[in-house]
Chain A
Amino acid sequence: MTTEGQVDDLTPVLTKRWLSPQSWTLRTYEQLEGYTALRKALAANPDQLIQLCKDSGLRGRGGAGFPTGMKWGFIPQGDGKPHYLVINADEGEPGTCKDIPLMMADPHSLVEGIIITAYAIRSNFAAIYVRGEALHCIRRLHAAVREAYDAGYLGKNILGSGFDLDVVVHAGAGAYICGEETALLDSLEGKRGQPRLKPPFPATAGLYASPTVVNNVETIASVPYIVNGGSDWFRAMGREKSPGPKIYSLSGHVERPGQYEAPMGTTLRQLLELAGGMKDGIPLKFWTPGGSSTPLFTAEHLDVPLDFEGAAQAGSMLGTTALQIFNETVSVPWAVMKWTEFYKHESCGKCTPCREGTYWLVQILQRMVAGNGTPEDIDTLLDVCDNILGRSFCALGDGAVSPITSGIQYFKHEFLALCESNAAQAKAPALAGAH
């Protein structure tokens, strides 16, 4: 129980219904305060909801941490154009596994958040772009949307408010890049999912070149709670610049991997304690704070507060709070090679630094892991990374270099060790008699 001013170690908000039987049904959702926030929201002026979201300090849960209320406020009003709300449910950042369980367990919280958000930004059409591989999640979302239509929460004149909203559940088709918001929009328009040059930003020219808000699942699912609880309640959890609860996903070499919803700013040390510590007691070697695109942390970073500021100040990023935990037995160059193979495969091919860079990075890392590398390869890797970081169309390129540069920063000796056997061979005297 919470005493004055103190907050419990775990703060189930988004995950609070997950233990209920048939938690995904409208019946369960309505029994547990479902759609009460919607009634309150529809009785208000849409601008009050945008202000509430700003006051709450809610920041995007898809990785970048952009202030959500500010994003909503960027949508020009009275411009005569249709406005769109697009939910980024294309969860695919390696290590990330929070949105799919959320949508399977409690799809109505997302649907209610969508209706409130669409009302706030004056949008009459919203799309949920879900990763195609998440089939069971797509089923549950479809059913939830259908139930919401039948109950009068979607469609024409919602609950007599005069507000109309249609929602479509849209299955992707297997492309990590579509998690990038402008690639997602192109994909939703029926094209190859390749990022657009920004500006213009989606707030002015998004879906079908109209003003569009693109938000992550966890972000929008938070909205009904903020409407009901208010911004002070939301800010009672987390830290000043990164308030609220957050689903931390622990995976890898940990005794009890899983989803843990805790206040923003919780540390890995605290989370590991809740999760029973390192698997079989083998010490921690490295981890990602928020997916493979966020620079690696080591055992030195166990006490870094995991919020947007804390992770950034320690040289990484909060990302999607996908904590992939690796113990001492795992080779850093091998892990980095595997991630780089992933980025190379998922590079959309649009821009040269990323397309060519990831191709060559893989070649070099594979050669090194095979024992055929040289210390100069490390310089080449860093040089290629330097030509990708900040020089690509989108963040995929930046993400691709994160494991490499951070891996070399903290574990250069492991990369050098891979070159030793090769160096010994090179030093052997040349055979005489060759011609």
Chain B
Amino acid sequence: MWTLTQMKESPAGTGPEQDAVDTSVFGADIVEKARQIIARYPVPRSALLPMLHLVQSVQGHVSQSGIAFCAAQLDLTAAEVSAVATFYTMYKRKPCGEHLVSVCTNTLCAMLGGDAIYARLREHLGSDGKPLGHEETSGEPGTTGSITLEHAECLAACDLGPVLQVNYEFYDNQTPESALELVESLQAGQKPAPTRGAPLTGFREVSLQLAGFFDGREADLDGPSAAAETVRGAALAAERGWTAPAMPDHVDLPAAPDKK
């Protein structure tokens, strides 16, 4: 707890309130990555969102140390960084499981079974007869088979609903039974392939990718992306020989308007 006196005594961003937080968990490699993120933008502060993904990749959540680290890199106060970290749902304030399971319970998915899927997983992952709550973790955070569960808003895969994501990879057209089987496999340390996305890794690994680091992961690109639903229109058009009108062989661009 910070007292008002302590805050007043501490110049923004550099004072004892930040020294008090140990950021040693972020080694030289992370400092270097933070520097690379900053270099992507015309203005350093734009690096904050990716940098929060970066610190999350180290600790599995955005801790006070993570906040202090970002603040120091960007010359912001811890309060400024906290204000941002608490605004966005993808930054987790408590340590997460090896996997993050997100079930879409927005209207359309909910109607097709999303609510039932979420209820089944809550029940399965709960303990002492109490269902697991939103953003709560089953198992010791970070250990193999531990799972953080959340209900998510529309995941932009409505033609494939009900959908869920594990570490932001898509598992489409789910049922309570298939979702339960998936979660049981995750708990047993297995990594069933997503319907669309790259082979499953862990929440921390994908957080690093969200920070924009993909080194050595080139094979991920070939992970499937198009379901039958995705290409339904394109396939139907091909089958029936439907096309857009043919383009002319050459068409000139219009003249530039006269400057007024």
Contact = CB atoms under 8 A, between A and B. Distances in A.
Contact of A96 (B154, B246, B254): B154
B43 A15 contact: no
A137 B197 CA distance: 9
Interface residues of A, number: 105
B207 to A, nearest CB: 10
A375 interface: no
Nearest to B44: A190
A136 B49 contact: no
Contacts of B48: 190-191
A258 B229 contact: yes
Contact of A101 (B221, B223, B225, B228): B225
A172 to B, nearest CB: 7
Contacts of B220: 136, 139
A410 interface: no
B70 to A, nearest CB: 9
Contact of A191 (B84, B156, B244, B254): B84
A168 B41 contact: yes
Contact of A95 (B53, B154, B198, B245): B154
What secondary structure prevails in chain B residues at the interface with A? loop
Contacts of B221: 24, 139-140, 143
A188 B226 CA distance: 29
Contacts of B112: 252
Interface residues of B, number: 87
B256 A18 contact: no
Contacts of A258: 159, 228-233
Interface in B35-75: 40-43, 45-50, 52-53, 74
B153 to A, nearest CB: 6
Most chain A Cβ neighbours within 10 Å, of B238, B242, B254: B254
Contacts of A24: 221, 225
A248 B158 CA distance: 12
Interface stretch (B15-23, B25-33, B101-109, B122-130): B101-109
B247 A136 contact: no
Interface in A188-230: 188-193, 208, 225, 227-230
A338 B238 CA distance: 38
Interface string A123-159: 0010000011111111110110000000000000000
B241 interface: yes
B245 A330 contact: no
A324 interface: yes
A249 interface: yes
Interface stretch (A43-51, A352-360, A365-373, A426-434): A43-51
Contacts of B168: 132-136
Interface string A65-105: 00000000000000000100000000111111101110011
Contacts of B106: 94, 338-339, 342
B86 to A, nearest CB: 9
B84 to A, nearest CB: 6
B196 A94 contact: no
B83 interface: yes
Nearest to A227: B253
A132 B90 contact: yes
A24 B230 CA distance: 14
B243 A2 contact: yes
A46 to B, nearest CB: 8
A229 B111 contact: no
A171 B155 CA distance: 15
A169 B159 contact: no
Contact of A208 (B42, B91, B243): B42
Given A9-B242, A96-B154, A229-B251, 15 more contacts: A7-B244, A8-B237, A12-B237, A12-B242, A51-B256, A51-B257, A99-B156, A139-B214, A139-B217, A140-B225, A193-B87, A247-B233, A258-B228, A324-B107, A338-B106
Interface of B: 40-43, 45-50, 52-53, 74, 83-84, 87-91, 102, 105-108, 110-112, 152-161, 165, 167-170, 196-198, 206, 209-212, 214, 217-218, 220-223, 225-226, 228-238, 240-248, 251-257
26 contacts: A8-B242, A10-B240, A16-B234, A19-B234, A45-B256, A82-B42, A95-B158, A104-B225, A105-B226, A133-B90, A133-B168, A136-B169, A139-B220, A142-B212, A174-B90, A190-B48, A190-B49, A227-B253, A233-B245, A247-B233, A249-B158, A257-B232, A260-B232, A260-B233, A326-B111, A345-B153
Interface of A: 1-2, 7-13, 15-16, 18-19, 22, 24, 40, 44-45, 47-49, 51-52, 55, 82, 91-97, 99-101, 104-105, 125, 131-140, 142-143, 168-176, 187-193, 208, 225, 227-233, 236-237, 245, 247-252, 256-262, 274-275, 292, 322, 324, 326, 330, 335, 338-339, 342, 345-346, 348
What 6 pairs across the A-B complex have the smallest Cβ distances? A258-B232, A190-B48, A260-B233, A230-B251, A173-B88, A251-B158
